[in-house]
């Protein structure tokens, strides 16, 4: 089965079971300060899982592009990916365990759908602990479907529990489905979840049935939800009997382009294979980040830093394969062609994506020259060391400050009769990696799950700010990102120039005037086509029949948004811009706060 067939069968199956297909969301989360990228299909739907009404109803299905950055340094093996697509379906207070598990089993085993031999399926369910009882209900459903006792495994909270999104809130057990690959067990304790490769996780059904309270106890939820996820690339690989996702059509065309450009042949040299996998994964991820509706450009902060790191790591491995000049645009062109059917925006942004990659590659090649120059400056002192060893901290400084590959440092060292303390470098690198990982794929503490009074007010204020910027600067202004905490809002928007003090004052005046007018905030559910006709601001997709929420602030602002919002603007207080700066090329960033109406506050 091809990946295209899997994607289309999944959507068709759940549509036949009463689910509304919704568009996937941007890779750049909106109004979420806790994660850099959308990491799973459920991530953008957290507000609806927590109780908000979704305009498309209670049964949803989609495919979502995702980025996970915590394991960037592990990419290069046969399984890790930075960019992937997630197939998902949801029940928002509708069906629960019985129907969810039965649909999962039908889709996996029915000859009309995936046709997997039921004898290859094993499942895991929550074993229970001192806080929450064992999930016998899910286990009994699997038994009723014919899964024998020896293939139903009760696992700990670490393996079979999700949430809550913050310290409190909805959470619950999950049941995971595994395919036996046919490999021999690694030992007597080999079971699903083992890393030996015998069992391959294909699907996960999460059952949000508890509310975790502030005192750490759990109470049953009155509105129970189901969230499921299936990785498109990994599932395609197992259905095709492939050893790796890199052997599927999601990567083969990209690898072919790399082979043609480098002369390397995939599958002959394990070390070169690592480089080819890294290039193909990282360039795909970079292309999707640049081609996103809220696409960022390479920089030294946030999403832009991750993007820069991906591009530069791909370039370093291209150099290992013998590439000298510009290269990354070649595999990127293949990615753009491969995915334009499902993500038409990639075609629209093609020239932008390729130009940004070229600019970043030129910058990095110059950076490498600087690193070589820095090495030459250090060389006299390094040669004085009687041990003829370059300390690991110095090698890491070349890597961290100049992006200088450790392999290049070792090569230059050899040319001068030196070696590199690789263990010391690895130790420094590991410390750096742990710091990066802690700041990359953090769990959703606050952010989309945070609907406090403060964040709700600031969310509404972003609508006023957006419209005020369009009035003062022009209709070219479009939101490029939003990040809200209970203390402040951060709003990124398209504009080429620094705002003048007069423009900032004018924007503040307009927002505060609309707050003073105490305008009503209303919501209507309509199709995207209707929203467009009514002049609502939005990122429009190709599916204009999709239902969305449109929030209007009096007659001043009309915007497609998921909420939450206040009922009237008069409760917002006083709006104050505290900082305006560049975010990336052609994008400005405003930080603003809401103060008490009398203005009394420490600023």
What is the Cα–Cα distance from 527 to 545, expressed in whole angstroms? Answer: 5
Residue 179 CA to chain centroid, in angstroms? 26
Listed in order, strand segments (DSSP E) in 181-245 are 199-212, 218-231
Listed in order, strand segments (DSSP E) in 364-474 are 389-390, 419-420
Asked if residue 561 belongs to a known ligand binding site, the reply is yes
What is the Cα–Cα distance from 193 to 384, expressed in whole angstroms? Answer: 52
Which helix (H) or strand (E) covers residue 407, if one does? Answer: helix 406-415
Which helix (H) or strand (E) covers residue 552, if one does? Answer: strand 547-553
What is the Cα–Cα distance from 238 to 242, expressed in whole angstroms? Answer: 6
Of 269, 267, 321, 311, nearest to 288 (Cα)? 311
SS3 330: helix
CB 552 within 8 A of CB 521: yes
CB 240 within 8 A of CB 219: no
Asked if residue 43 belongs to a known ligand binding site, the reply is no
What is the Cα–Cα distance from 143 to 129, expressed in whole angstroms? Answer: 22
Alpha helices in 126-187 (DSSP H): 136-144
CB 37 within 8 A of CB 66: yes
What is the Cα–Cα distance from 191 to 186, expressed in whole angstroms? Answer: 9
CB 232 within 8 A of CB 85: yes
Provide φ and ψ at 532, rounded to 5°.
Answer: -60, -45
CB 495 within 8 A of CB 473: yes
What is the Cα–Cα distance from 385 to 381, expressed in whole angstroms? Answer: 7
Q: In this structure, are strands 161-162 and 152-155 parallel, antiparallel, or unpaired?
A: unpaired
What is the Cα–Cα distance from 547 to 343, expressed in whole angstroms? Answer: 19
CB-based contacts of 234, cutoff 8 Å, min separation 6: 79, 84, 200, 202, 245
Which helix (H) or strand (E) covers residue 88, if one does? Answer: strand 83-92
Asked if residue 565 belongs to a known ligand binding site, the reply is yes
What is the Cα–Cα distance from 169 to 175, expressed in whole angstroms? Answer: 20
Work out the number of other CB atoms within 10 angstroms of the CB of residue 124. 28
Annotated binding site for Zn(2+): 459, 463, 561, 565
Annotated binding site: 459, 463, 561, 565
């Amino acid at each position: 089965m091809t990946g295209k067939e899997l994607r289309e069968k999944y959507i068709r199956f759940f549509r036949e079971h009463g689910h509304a297909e919704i568009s996937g969301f941007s890779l750049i989360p909106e109004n979420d300060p806790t994660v850099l990228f959308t990491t799973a299909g459920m991530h953008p739907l957290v507000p609806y899982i927590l109780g908000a009404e979704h305009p498309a109803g209670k049964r949803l299905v989609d495919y979502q592009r995702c980025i996970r950055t915590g394991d960037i340094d592990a990419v290069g093996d046969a399984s890790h990916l930075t960019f992937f697509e997630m197939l998902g379906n949801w029940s928002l207070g509708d069906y629960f365990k019985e129907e969810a598990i039965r649909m999962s089993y039908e889709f996996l085993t029915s000859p009309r759908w995936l046709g997997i031999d039921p004898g290859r399926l094993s499942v895991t369910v929550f074993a229970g602990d001192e806080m929450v009882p064992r999930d016998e209900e899910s286990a009994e459903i699997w038994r009723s479907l014919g899964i024998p006792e020896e293939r139903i495994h009760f696992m700990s909270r670490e393996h079979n529990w999700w949430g809550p999104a913050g310290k409190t809130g909805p959470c619950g057990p999950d049941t995971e489905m595994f395919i036996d690959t046919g490999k021999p067990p690694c030992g007597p304790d080999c079971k699903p979840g083992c890393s030996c490769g015998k069992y391959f996780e294909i699907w996960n059904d999460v059952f949000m049935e508890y509310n975790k309270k502030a005192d750490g106890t759990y109470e049953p939820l009155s509105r129970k939800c189901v969230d499921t996820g299936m990785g498109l690339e990994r599932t395609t690989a197992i259905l095709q009997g492939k050893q790796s996702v890199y052997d599927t059509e999601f990567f083969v065309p990209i690898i072919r382009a790399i082979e043609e450009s480098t002369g390397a042949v995939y599958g002959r040299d394990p070390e070169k294979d690592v480089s080819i996998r890294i290039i193909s994964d990282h360039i795909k991820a970079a292309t999707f980040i640049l081609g996103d509706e809220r696409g960022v450009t390479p920089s030294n902060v946030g999403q832009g830093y991750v993007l820069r790191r991906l591009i530069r790591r791909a370039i370093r491995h291209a150099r290992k394969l013998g590439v000298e000049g510009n290269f990354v645009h070649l595999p990127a062109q293949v990615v753009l062609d491969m995915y334009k059917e499902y993500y038409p925006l990639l075609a629209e942004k093609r020239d932008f994506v390729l130009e940004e990659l070229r600019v970043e590659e030129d910058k990095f090649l110059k950076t490498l020259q600087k690193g070589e120059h820095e090495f030459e400056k250090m060389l006299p002192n390094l040669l004085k060391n009687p041990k003829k060893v370059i300390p690991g901290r110095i090698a890491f400084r070349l890597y961290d400050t100049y992006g200088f590959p450790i392999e290049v440092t070792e090569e230059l060292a050899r040319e001068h009769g030196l070696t590199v303390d690789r263990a010391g470098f690895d130790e420094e690198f590991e410390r750096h990696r742990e710091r990066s990982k802690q700041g990359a794929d953090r769990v959703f503490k606050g952010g989309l799950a945070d609907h406090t009074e403060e964040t709700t007010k600031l969310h509404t204020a972003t609508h006023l700010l957006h419209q005020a910027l369009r009035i003062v600067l022009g209709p070219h202004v479009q939101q490029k990102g939003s990040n809200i905490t209970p203390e402040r809002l951060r709003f990124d928007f398209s504009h080429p120039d620094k705002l003048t003090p007069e423009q900032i004052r004018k924007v503040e005046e307009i927002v505060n005037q609309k707050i003073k007018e105490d305008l009503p905030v209303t919501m209507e559910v309509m199709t995207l086509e209707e929203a467009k006709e009514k002049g609502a601001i939005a990122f429009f997709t190709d599916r204009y029949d999709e239902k969305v929420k449109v929030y209007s602030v009096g007659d001043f602002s009309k915007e497609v948004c998921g909420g939450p919002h206040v009922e009237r603007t008069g409760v917002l207080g006083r709006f104050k811009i505290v900082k305006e700066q560049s975010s990336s090329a052609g994008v400005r960033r405003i930080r603003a706060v809401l103060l008490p109406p009398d203005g009394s506050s420490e600023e």
